[in-house]
Amino acid sequence: MNVFRKGNKELIKDLNRSIVIDLVRLQGNVSRTDIAKVTGLGLSTITNIIEELIKENLVTEVGTGDSHGGRKPVLLKFNGDYGVIVGMKIEKQEVKMCLSNLEGNILHKHQFSYTTKEAMQLTTVIIEQLEGFIKRNESGSKVVGIGIATPGLVDQENNEVVYSPILKMDHGDLKPIGRHFDVPLMIDNDANVFALAEKWIGAGREYRNFIGVTVGAGVGAGIVIDHTLFRGDFGGAGELGHITINQGDRLCYCGQRGCLELYASDPYLVHEAERMVAIGVPTLIDSFHPITPESVVMAAQKGDQYAQELLEKQGENLALGIKNMIHLFNPEAVILGGEGLRENDFLLKGMQKELAVHFFIRHPRKLQFKTSQLGEDVWLIGACALVVSHLFKVPIYK
């Protein structure tokens, strides 16, 4: 349970510091007077806080701005190079990692594959690889934290992957990684991390309320409410893949029947394509062995009508699930991403067809629908965002 700190002078000082640093960090090039205007804090309070932040090298002065009569104001900038963050994504048989500055600029990247045997001691393998990676790219900046994105159900408080069928991981304890490097370790599931990346430097920056949806091996969602990721009780909010869209139908690995993931993920494409081939549908997909999601997209791009219809159907199914979220949360935007997109217009066409009708359609404020522009790096950037939001969080709890 979170225990509140007492409302004494120290807490107020920490709160003000947090407000000031967030403003400088997220807005950039602001003067002390600008900060006073936006926050309503007294100029002397701000001057003291800024002095401290400059001493700590978290904020620097970067020249002067336009004057509206009187002295030109000194502009302040957050020092994004104060330290480096390790961002990591654990995937099936592969781990990707990066070093980034505190503003989400990726400086170096590394990835390695691991075998089924190595999966048993994955944390040991990760520590070894990360140690080498940091050593090779050491530039004097200190590592201030490690953020990790993984598929599956995550226990954030205990840095544990409770259950991930994609990784075949059961109670995977990642704490040793943070302990080894003696820095804060933050983990979260990949859909939450996706939404954080979009909020930090992607399409989600401009929205107060949006939903990030990822499609690939699974289907997931990260819900941002009032500029903040909504995690639910233990980080499980947004399990879009396991809402029921087809009562009494196929059994999902989670134990339920008719989950969205069975109709909208990569395995759906493969399952349906194999079924079509088995019953003798004259589709180009038949020429691919084995059948993969990529082969369905390739066949569709070569003009195969059955592959095109299958991708459109996947899009329609995905949109059905997304519409449920739209009606529950009334977001300004939905941002779509994940390896399952594969730049194929057929899936998007199917989605648009289904999304053309919903209860809010007559409201003048139209729902925005966007695809992520952060590419494959989105997971690493989001993993770094986990650390940044930990470092600069509002300090109201003990």
State the residues that interact with Zn ion by CB under 5 A: 242, 252, 254, 256, 259
CB–CB of 382/197 below 8 Å?
yes
User: Which of 190/312 has CB closer to Zn ion?
Assistant: 190
Tokens coding 140: 């004097």
User: Which of 102/259 has CB closer to Zn ion?
Assistant: 259
Tokens coding 194: 């996706």
Minimal distance in Å, beta carbon 261 to Zn ion? Answer: 6
Torsion of the alpha carbons at 290, 296, 297 and 300, rounded to the nearest 10: 130
User: Which of 184/236 has CB closer to Zn ion?
Assistant: 236
- Positive or negative, the CA dihedral 299, 305, 308, 309 is negative
Minimal distance in Å, beta carbon 242 to Zn ion? Answer: 4
Cα–Cα distance between 265 and 99 in angstroms, integer?
30
Name the phi and psi angles at 356, rounded to 5.
-65, -20
Minimal distance in Å, beta carbon 157 to Zn ion? Answer: 24
Considering only CA atoms, which of 23, 33, 27, 28 is closest in space to residue 68? 33
Minimal distance in Å, beta carbon 243 to Zn ion? Answer: 9
Residue 332 is given by DSSP the state S
Minimal distance in Å, beta carbon 344 to Zn ion? Answer: 24
Minimal distance in Å, beta carbon 258 to Zn ion? Answer: 8
User: Which of 96/242 has CB closer to Zn ion?
Assistant: 242
User: Which of 256/287 has CB closer to Zn ion?
Assistant: 256
Cα–Cα distance between 121 and 397 in angstroms, integer?
34
Considering only CA atoms, which of 195, 181, 269 is closest in space to residue 225? 195
User: Which of 239/377 has CB closer to Zn ion?
Assistant: 239
Minimal distance in Å, beta carbon 379 to Zn ion? Answer: 22
Alpha helices in the chain, H assignment, sequence order? 9-27, 32-39, 43-55, 116-119, 122-136, 175-181, 190-201, 261-264, 266-278, 293-301, 305-329, 345-355, 378-391
User: Which of 215/299 has CB closer to Zn ion?
Assistant: 215
Minimal distance in Å, beta carbon 267 to Zn ion? Answer: 12
Minimal distance in Å, beta carbon 252 to Zn ion? Answer: 3
Name the phi and psi angles at 225, rounded to 5.
-120, 125
Residue 189 is given by DSSP the state E
User: Which of 250/393 has CB closer to Zn ion?
Assistant: 250
User: Which of 20/262 has CB closer to Zn ion?
Assistant: 262
- Buried b vs exposed e over 16-48: b needs ≥16 C-beta within 10 Å? bbbbbbebbbeeeebbbebbbeeeebeeebbee
Who's near 131: CB < 8 A, 6+ residues apart? none
